[in-house]
């Protein structure tokens, strides 16, 4: 009998299944009312008294092993079935991971930053809420100067004036106040103008400002830098500088690139001329240097400023500036493949 019990213990230990039916069969075979244990306990009566203690213990042990096996298997099975209830079919293929996309404004800003970083420009930033000094006065735009009309301003407070910066040129001033020449920096950022919203204009948009100050900086340096930029950014190597006016630069110019007249879109965006205006620039006015305590006898410099939306519209042929701010997923998704 002892040998038989040992055999059954080994069988219990080895038994495993994930089928509910097989667990039940196992239970009936060992613990059922006509099961093996019942049978063995019946035979126990015939065991010799000297062996009763030992065999009795072995039988009790066998019974508890069998019932813990049943419990254990049932538990594993129910844990399994709640998992699959929660997650459904665990063998099905996973959901595809949706790739995000960078906003086209960030893509273009990063590209411009990269192009200028290669020639030693650092990136600087300034506040969006500005004072009159940094946005206007120090840039050679004193109060009542008619050029202030070029930029309709959102004022936050009067006396002292607090406003939303109308251009990133304010960062030039902050940078010159806190750094000594040589200065080579570009300042990307958001700007605000009190303008009617249309396909071509928005009251919030982005600019990048460039500033270079050192001894002996000339207009030729400016032109060369701009040429490098247009080659890197657009792959176009023909530019022209048209005389213009900005209070903070003298002389001032507007930069056009030769876009070409190959397609109908080229005709449309260049109004049939082949030329496209992309930014304003000039030699930093000596008054601006003086306002930031840089000696205009010793130093000269150039500055430039461009609208990021305008460049993004050109590069990606986006017809309406409002598309940048609507967050329409069908628009944004198209930039997934661009880094
Ligand atoms: N701040 C000018 C604007 O918003 C752009 C500009 C023009 C910036 C000429 C400059 C510059 O630094 O030299 O229209």
- Percent pLDDT > 90 in the chain is 56
* 305 ligand 1 Cβ < 6 A: yes
* 246 ligand 1 Cβ < 6 A: yes
Tell whether the model's pLDDT for residue 114 goes beyond 70.
yes
* 189 ligand 1 Cβ < 6 A: no
**Secondary structure (3-state) at 50:** helix
Mean pLDDT score, 106-111? 96
Tokens 């298997």 map to which residue?
Answer: 73
Tell whether the model's pLDDT for residue 149 goes beyond 80.
no
Q: What is the pLDDT of residues 314-331, one digit of tens each?
A: 899 898 999 999 999 999
Minimum CA distance residue for ligand 1 atom 5:
305
Q: Rounded distance, CA 73 to CA 339, Å?
A: 53
Confidence label for 207 from pLDDT (cuts 50, 70 and 90): very high
CB contact burial 255-271 (16+ within 10 A = b; e otherwise): bbbbbeeeeeeeeebbe
Q: What is the pLDDT of residues 30-55, one digit of tens each?
A: 888 898 888 888 888 888 888 888 88
Minimum CA distance residue for ligand 1 atom 12:
304
How close are the terminal C-alpha atoms of the chain, in Å? Answer: 78
Strands 183-192 and 122-123: parallel
Tell whether the model's pLDDT for residue 211 goes beyond 70.
yes
Confidence (pLDDT) at 84: 67
**Secondary structure (3-state) at 300:** strand
* 126 ligand 1 Cβ < 6 A: no
The pick from 169, 185, 189, 193 for probing ligand 1's pocket by mutation, whose C-beta has the most ligand atoms within 8 angstroms, reads 169
In order of 37, 47, 57, 60, 297, the CA distances from 64 in angstroms are 11, 21, 11, 6, 101
Helix axes 308-316, 104-117, angle to 10 degrees: 100
- More reliable by pLDDT, 312 or 66: 312
CA of 224 to the centre of ligand 1 (A): 18
Q: What is the DSSP letter of 165?
A: -
* 280 ligand 1 Cβ < 6 A: yes
Minimum CA distance residue for ligand 1 atom 8:
305
Confidence (pLDDT) at 94: 83
Tell whether the model's pLDDT for residue 224 goes beyond 90.
yes
Question: In Å, how far from its chain's centre is CA 71?
Answer: 52
Give the gyration radius of the chain's Cα atoms: 40
| Bridge partners for 280 per DSSP | 254, 305
């Amino acid at each position: 009998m002892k040998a038989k019990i040992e055999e059954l213990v080994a069988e219990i230990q080895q038994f495993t299944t994930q089928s509910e039916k097989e667990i039940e069969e196992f239970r009936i075979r060992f613990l059922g009312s006509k099961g093996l244990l019942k049978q063995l306990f019946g035979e126990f009566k015939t065991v010799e008294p000297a062996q009763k203690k030992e065999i009795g213990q072995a039988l009790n042990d066998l019974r508890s092993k069998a019932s813990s096996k049943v419990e254990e298997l049932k538990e594993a099975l129910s844990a399994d079935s709640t998992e699959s209830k929660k997650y459904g079919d665990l063998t099905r293929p996973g959901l595809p991971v949706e790739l995000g996309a960078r906003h086209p404004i960030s893509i273009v800003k990063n590209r411009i930053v990269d192009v200028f970083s290669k020639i030693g420009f650092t990136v600087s930033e300034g506040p969006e809420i500005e004072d009159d000094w940094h946005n206007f006065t120090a840039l050679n735009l004193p109060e009542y100067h008619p050029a202030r009309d070029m930029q309709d301003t959102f004022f936050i407070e009067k006396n002292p004036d607090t406003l939303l910066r109308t251009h990133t040129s304010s960062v030039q001033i902050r940078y010159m106040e806190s750094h000594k020449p040589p200065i080579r920096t570009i300042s990307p950022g958001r700007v605000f103008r009190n303008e009617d919203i249309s396909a071509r204009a928005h009251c919030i948009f982005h600019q990048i400002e460039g500033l270079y100050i050192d001894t002996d900086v000339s207009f030729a340096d400016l032109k060369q830098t701009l040429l490098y930029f247009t080659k890197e950014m657009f792959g176009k190597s023909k530019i022209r500088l048209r005389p213009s006016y900005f209070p903070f630069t003298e002389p001032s110019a507007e930069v056009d690139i030769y876009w070409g007249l190959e397609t109908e879109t080229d005709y449309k965006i260049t109004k049939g001329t082949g030329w496209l205006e992309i930014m304003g620039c000039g030699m930093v006015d000596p008054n601006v240097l003086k306002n930031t305590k840089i000696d205009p006898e010793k130093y000269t410099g150039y500055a430039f400023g461009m609208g990021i939306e305008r460049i993004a519209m050109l590069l990606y042929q986006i017809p309406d500036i409002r598309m940048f701010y609507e967050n329409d997923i069908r628009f944004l998704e198209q930039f997934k493949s661009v880094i």
